[in-house]
Each structure stands twice: as C-alpha cells, then as structure tokens.
Chain A
C-alpha cells in the first residue's frame, strides 16, 4: 500500500514539473502566437484585432503571470487547450484527435512487433552462448542502435520507394485521392504507406530488446535452478522457455510498458521524414508555426502517456517480482 502511495505521489510531482516547464518555456522566450499570426497575415489584421486575438488564444498579457499559470493548470486538467493557430479556428483537441490514431497505429503496432521479435531472438541468442546468433547479432545491433533512425528511413525510401519506381509510398499516411473509410482499397493503401516508416522504427528499436534479453538470459542460465532442471533431464527447449526465458523476461516487461508510453512521442523524426500525419509531425508543424496552444497540448499529451506508462510499469514490476515490493 505504501508502495502505491509513493508511486502515485511521484507521478503527481513529475506531472506538475512537466506542466510547469511547459507553461514557462514559451513564456520565457521572445515572440508570442498572436504576433506570429499577425506576421503571417502581413498587416491585414489591425492592432485592435491583435488584442482580440490575444484574448481568444488565452494569452492576455495584461494578466499577472501567476494568474495565467493557475488558469493554465485548470484548463489543462479540464482538457481545455484553446484554439489552434495553424488550423485556425479548429480547437486543439480536435486537431490532436485527428493525428493520434495515425501515431497509435504506426508506432504502437511496430513497438509490439519489435518487442516480441527482439525478445525471441535475444532468448535464443543468450541460450546458445557462442552460437551463430550469439556471435553475430550483438555486434550488429550495437552498430544499428547507433544509426540515426530518420536516416535509416531515408535509405529505405531510396531503396524501396525510389529504387522500385514507387512500389512503396514514401510520403504521407494515405493516398489523398482515395476516400478515407473502412473499405479494402483504403485500408490496403494505409498499410502500404505504413510499411517503410514502420520498418525504420523496427530496425532501430529491435536491437535494444535483443541485447537486454540476451544479457538477462545469459545471467539467468548461470542460476542453480537451471542446473537442477538439467539434472532432472527436462527437455532443453522446455528449460529455455519455462525456466530461463520466463525469469529473464521480467525486467523486459517493465521496459515494454514504458516503451508503450513513448509510442505517442517516439517517432517524431520518422514521422517528419515520411510526412506521416501523426502526433510527432504535428508537434513539429506546431513548433515551426509558433502554435503555442497546439504545442502545449501535444507536450501534455505526450508527457501524460509516458508518465502513466511508467506508473503501470512500476506496478507491473511489483506484481511480477515480490522482491521489489518488499525492498521499498
């Protein structure tokens, strides 16, 4: 019980710090969205309208900072993020709701695949010390984990999109000429658009799972209960899966929960490379357009999902590993 209260307390404090950073960073810097909007319309808005805009965006600079801060915290808790500048006059919540499914679909599915595949390969490679998998894979993935993953995306575009005369699309989430909806043609098109970005995330993230799983298995294999199982004459494959992997995967499960939290933010650069209409691409366009309300909402969304995932992973670890519970 004390464990749960502690973790919840940490969750709230971290959330507060993130929200506070989110509020103060833009305000400590020069420029504000109403002025940016003015600049975009190049003098076609008169100064009176500017005041009105500032009020509309909730950026009333006349109010003391503290009042603005308290109002901001209140609005964040109730989910009122105001109106987007880039997609004026759509409310921010609507804009975010359009981008979210794309990211969840692309990065979410890819993360699950990477985890399953990586853990499987890591298990085999750790179990067969000095086998082919064990001597080849770790060095290879040490190197791939050092590649910039937007660049891997660019190379994939070069080989599979341009190199094949556009067999796989490299731009956007779907063909703009198609009618979005639950019909076979559209769904196939969406999947085709997702292949290359998904592949570039997979190539970069799988190495981490392989290495941690391999190292966990290597450490587990040295345990007495494995020797015991061997002595009992249990089949090798059975020991690998039911004894070694089962224990070795525990730390990875917590990592998996956290990486699911990073799904929302994890692929900003990939989405940029492929012009994929997800949360990351939206965050970047919000930044370049000085769209405060949209940017703040996205940062809050990303932070909250990560924090919730960390919380879940803490509870998961405690549930699966009693030693963690008693230690705290």
Chain B
C-alpha cells in the first residue's frame, strides 16, 4: 500500500483521540483544505460520470463501431481505436466499473478491518493475540503475487472474484491501524462508564468507540479504494480480468495487445491511464486532509516572517 496511507497510520496513532463528536472536523477539513477540496470536486465528477455517462457523450453504446483508428477530432474527441470504438465514450462508460470496484472493495475491506481491528483491541487476551497474528500474517504476505495466483485459478475476471481477492489482500493494513487506535482508547473513562452502565460489547464498539475513529476510518477507506483501483487496473492490464468488461484496465489491456503506441493510437493508452491517475489522485488528495486532521503538526503553517 502506498506511503500516503502509511503516514496516516503513524500519525493518527500518535494523536490521542479525545474528540468524541462523531465526524467532527471531517467536513470542515475537506472544505477548508484546498487540496482536499480539489480531490472532492474531482471525485464528484467521476461519480456523476459513473451514474449518468450519457451526460458526457452522445454515443450511448461504448462498443458501437465507427471507422477504425480515426485521429482525435470533432466527431470523436479522442479518436477511435483499432476496433473502431470511440475512445472517449469507452472512457466515460468505463468509469462505472472502476469506481464500483473501488467503492465495493473500500467498504467491504473497511468493514473487515474494523471488525477484526477493533474487536482485537476490545477483546484482549488470547482473542487479541490470535486476531493480531492473523492481521500481521496477511500484512506481510506479498499481495500482488498472491492476487495473481488466486485470480488466475479462480477463473479470473468475474467481478465477485476480483472484489473478493482485493478484499482478502487489502484489509490487514487498516485492521492494524484501527487496533492501535482502539487500544489507546481502551482504558478511557467514557468506555469505563459505558461498561459500568452494563452496555453490551457490541454497543460499546459501535456507539462509543467507532465515532471517535471516523477520520481514521475514512482515511483507511480512501487508502483501500486507491489500492483497489490500481490493483484492479493492473490485473486487467495483464489479462487476468474479464477482457470483455468495460473498464479502464481492460482498455489498457486491449491497447497493449493491439500495439496502440506503435500504431499511432496514443490516446487509447494515455486516456485510461490518466483517468485512473485522476481518480486515484482524488482519493489521495482527500486522504491528505485526513492526515492533517490526525496530525496537527502537518497542517500548513500560516506564513509568518519569523526570521530570514
């Protein structure tokens, strides 16, 4: 996983979470931070493209055939590829699958890391040791080779398999962060009082512990979504995805197998990669804001001429 999230891990753990108001600061941090705001706007555009692609292109079937290898021009914004498909339309319609995978993997893996991470910290004793061991084991097993091996054998490309594999390899990092955070909360007074009131463990975890970790969970979700986006694209690029699917990774796969660069169809390669990069950047930029919530030391300093 990228170092962007790694810094989130270290810093968030150090800063004791005393704030209990649920989600406090998340919205404020996004709106008040230029980088995060840019990320949020970019993400919003992708979400709209995924939901109503018709807004962005007049061609309603991404596989509709035109003349082959047309250069970018008036009728075809980015030209057409060796199959005669309009590249811009393919790009717009590809948003849906790429975004869907990110969000699904992000949500599922976050849930797994919350369950395992927080309950490890809350349980204590043998349960904690076993869950931590499991987390650490999955943390160090090299993910990409494992994904490749699983995807190859699971008849790769089917969407549930893809998502399952990404969740299996993606949850451990977040679980470790959340455990560390939850452990620092374990002996706080407000949890003690909940216990004395006789609340059940599930209640304490959901209503007392989780709200204090909203920004960490959000940062985590973004990290996993970025990981899912890049890994999915990589898998489809090397041909382990569903090669008839409509997604950015698949576009890159077909561009590569048809030697798009060598035959002058640069946009077939540039466009999907750029789209992946922009969506990824929107996650990363948002994450930046959560980093700064977790660790005030990283917040931009007001420019003051102290000494020169």
Interface residues of A (CB under 8 A from B): 10, 13-14, 17-18, 21-22, 25-26, 28-31, 129-130, 138-139, 142-143, 145-148, 150-152, 154-155, 157-158, 162, 207-209, 211-212, 215, 218-219, 222, 251, 255, 262, 265, 268-269, 272-273, 283-284, 287-288, 295, 298-299, 302-303, 306-307, 310
Cα(A258)–Cα(B19), bound, Å: 34
Is B41 positioned at the interface, with any CB of A under 8 Å from its CB? no
Contacts of A162 in B (CB 8 A): 261-262
Residue from B136, B152, B261, B295 in contact with A10 in the complex, judged by beta carbons closer than 8 Å: B136
Cα(A158)–Cα(B259), bound, Å: 11
Cα(A218)–Cα(B296), bound, Å: 11
- In the complex, 19 of the A-B residue pairs with CB atoms within 8 angstroms, ordered by the A residue number, are A25-B149, A26-B149, A26-B153, A143-B281, A145-B3, A146-B283, A146-B284, A150-B237, A158-B269, A211-B3, A215-B295, A215-B298, A218-B297, A218-B298, A265-B144, A265-B145, A298-B145, A302-B142, A303-B141
Contacts of B252 in A (CB 8 A): 148, 150-151, 154
Contacts of B300 in A (CB 8 A): 130
> Is A212 in contact with B7, judged by CB distance below 8 angstroms?
yes
Known: A22-B149, A162-B261. A145 touches B2 (CB 8 A): yes
Is B4 positioned at the interface, with any CB of A under 8 Å from its CB? yes
> Is A148 in contact with B3, judged by CB distance below 8 angstroms?
no
> Which chain B residues numbered 6 to 22 have a C-beta less than 8 Å away from chain A?
6-7, 10-11
A195 to chain B, nearest CB (A): 17
Contacts of B162 in A (CB 8 A): none
Question: Taking CB as reference atom, which chain B residue is nearest A301?
Answer: B145
Contacts of A265 in B (CB 8 A): 142, 144-145
Is B303 positioned at the interface, with any CB of A under 8 Å from its CB? yes
Residue among B11, B148, B239, B287 having the largest count of chain A Cβ atoms under 10 Å: B148
Flag B260-303 by CB within 8 Å of A: 1 or 0 each.
01100010011011001101110111011000000101101101
Is B226 positioned at the interface, with any CB of A under 8 Å from its CB? yes
The 4 closest A-B pairs by CB, nearest first: A208-B3, A146-B280, A151-B273, A29-B153
Is B72 positioned at the interface, with any CB of A under 8 Å from its CB? no
A313 to chain B, nearest CB (A): 10
Known: A148-B277, A150-B237, A209-B3. A310 touches B140 (CB 8 A): yes
Contacts of A31 in B (CB 8 A): 153
> Is B277 in contact with A143, judged by CB distance below 8 angstroms?
yes
> Is A148 in contact with B136, judged by CB distance below 8 angstroms?
no
> Is B145 in contact with A211, judged by CB distance below 8 angstroms?
no
Question: Taking CB as reference atom, which chain A residue is nearest B148?
Answer: A287
B128 to chain A, nearest CB (A): 15
Residue from B3, B137, B238, B266 in contact with A269 in the complex, judged by beta carbons closer than 8 Å: B238
> Which chain B residues numbered 96 to 119 have a C-beta less than 8 Å away from chain A?
none
Is B256 positioned at the interface, with any CB of A under 8 Å from its CB? yes
Cα(A208)–Cα(B6), bound, Å: 9
Contacts of A130 in B (CB 8 A): 300-301, 303
> Is A283 in contact with B145, judged by CB distance below 8 angstroms?
yes
Residue from A17, A209, A299 in contact with B149 in the complex, judged by beta carbons closer than 8 Å: A299
> Which chain B residues numbered 139 to 167 have a C-beta less than 8 Å away from chain A?
140-142, 144-146, 148-150, 152-155
> Is B137 in contact with A14, judged by CB distance below 8 angstroms?
yes
Known: A10-B133, A21-B146, A299-B149. A208 touches B2 (CB 8 A): yes
A70 to chain B, nearest CB (A): 21
B52 to chain A, nearest CB (A): 25
Known contacts A150-B252, A151-B276, A208-B4, then 20 further A-B pairs from the complex at CB < 8 Å, ordered by chain A residue: A29-B155, A138-B288, A142-B4, A142-B284, A142-B285, A143-B284, A145-B2, A145-B284, A146-B281, A151-B252, A212-B3, A215-B10, A218-B297, A219-B297, A268-B238, A269-B238, A272-B237, A283-B145, A288-B152, A303-B141
Cα(A162)–Cα(B259), bound, Å: 12
Cα(A216)–Cα(B149), bound, Å: 36
Known: A29-B153, A143-B277, A288-B239. A155 touches B270 (CB 8 A): yes
Residue among B133, B153, B262 having the largest count of chain A Cβ atoms under 10 Å: B153
> Which chain B residues numbered 201 to 244 have a C-beta less than 8 Å away from chain A?
226, 230, 233-234, 237-240
Is B76 positioned at the interface, with any CB of A under 8 Å from its CB? no
Is B35 positioned at the interface, with any CB of A under 8 Å from its CB? yes
Question: Taking CB as reference atom, which chain A residue is nearest B6?
Answer: A212
> Is B142 in contact with A158, judged by CB distance below 8 angstroms?
no
Residue from B140, B240, B256, B303 in contact with A14 in the complex, judged by beta carbons closer than 8 Å: B140
Residue from A28, A154, A284 in contact with B256 in the complex, judged by beta carbons closer than 8 Å: A154
> Is B149 in contact with A147, judged by CB distance below 8 angstroms?
no
Contacts of A151 in B (CB 8 A): 233, 252, 269, 272-273, 276-277
> Is A13 in contact with B233, judged by CB distance below 8 angstroms?
no
B181 to chain A, nearest CB (A): 17
Contacts of A152 in B (CB 8 A): 273
Residue from B35, B154, B288 in contact with A29 in the complex, judged by beta carbons closer than 8 Å: B154
Cα(A68)–Cα(B281), bound, Å: 47
Known: A25-B150, A209-B3. A269 touches B234 (CB 8 A): yes
> Is A148 in contact with B144, judged by CB distance below 8 angstroms?
no
Contacts of B154 in A (CB 8 A): 29
> Is B238 in contact with A272, judged by CB distance below 8 angstroms?
yes
Residue from A10, A14, A299 in contact with B146 in the complex, judged by beta carbons closer than 8 Å: A299
Contacts of B297 in A (CB 8 A): 218-219, 222
Contacts of A129 in B (CB 8 A): 301
